[in-house]
Amino acid sequence: MAHQPTIVVPAFLSRGYHVRTDLPAHVAASGHPHVTVAPALGPSPQIARLVGEQLLKAGWHPGDSVILAAAGTSDPVARADLHTTATLTSALTGSRVELAFAATGDPTVAEAVADARHRSSRPVAVASYLLADGMFAHQLRNSGADMVAEPLGTHPRLARLIANHFQRARTPIAA
């Protein structure tokens, strides 16, 4: 059986350890000779737009405090990516966007919400930087924020973004 070219699109929002180390190791261990690994989905202006749209759907208004809530990481590359996404989201919304974590990392989402409340009387919105519902999304909903955006996986254009990553990775194979 001939090996067909294969493309892996990592379902990760930053270029953390799993994308840079685990995934390439698994691809190498597979023995498949023709695998292209697409970049992580973020950071990107497209992902930041999805974050902003999810915030709007949650009830965010200009001037509200915004917390970008990620699962968490100790990886410096992933943390830099998360800060980039916070900066992109801030540029889109015109609001200061603070980064917080549901698991690994400081501050926690609940701490960031409390800090935002201490700084301002404006409502506090949590922008979910998660792909799916689950334990971390539950933590966001219990953070004390006035509104919590849905995970990005519920956004109808995320599938198109993944397909675009696939197509860009496929182009060198097809040539």
12 plus 91 within the same structural domain = no
Residues 131-156: tens digit of each pLDDT: 999 999 999 999 999 999 999 998 99
51 plus 116 within the same structural domain = yes
56 plus 99 within the same structural domain = yes
136 plus 162 within the same structural domain = no
Task: Give the model's pLDDT for residue 3.
Answer: 76
135 plus 113 within the same structural domain = yes
| Cα radius of gyration rounded to whole Å, the chain | 18
170 plus 96 within the same structural domain = no
- Is residue 13 a part of any domain in this protein? yes
Give the CATH number for residue 115: 3.40.50.1400
Strand partners, 76: none
- Is residue 66 a part of any domain in this protein? yes
69 plus 149 within the same structural domain = yes
Task: Give the model's pLDDT for residue 4.
Answer: 87
Q: Which amino acid is present at 143?
A: S
69 plus 140 within the same structural domain = yes
Task: Give the model's pLDDT for residue 102.
Answer: 97
37 plus 55 within the same structural domain = no
Residues 17-56: tens digit of each pLDDT: 999 999 999 999 999 989 999 999 999 999 999 999 999 9
Residues 52-99: tens digit of each pLDDT: 999 999 999 999 999 999 999 999 999 999 999 999 999 999 999 999
Tell me if 66 sits within 8 A of 98, measured CB to CB: yes
- Is residue 96 a part of any domain in this protein? yes
The whole domain housing 34 covers: 6-41+157-174
Domain count, the chain: 2
Is the predicted pLDDT of residue 173 greater than 80, yes or no?
no
67 plus 80 within the same structural domain = yes
78 plus 92 within the same structural domain = yes
Task: Give the model's pLDDT for residue 2.
Answer: 63
How would you write the chain as a 3-class SS string?
CCCCCEEECCCCCCCCHHHHHHHHHHHHHHCCCCEEECCCCCCCHHHHHHHHHHHHHHCCCCCCEEEEEECCCCCHHHHHHHHHHHHHHHHHHCCCEEEEECCCCCCEHHHHHHHHHHHCCCCEEEEEECCCCCHHHHHHHCCCCCEECCCHHHCCCHHHHHHHHHHHHHHHHHC
- Is residue 1 a part of any domain in this protein? no
- Is residue 82 a part of any domain in this protein? yes
139 plus 162 within the same structural domain = no
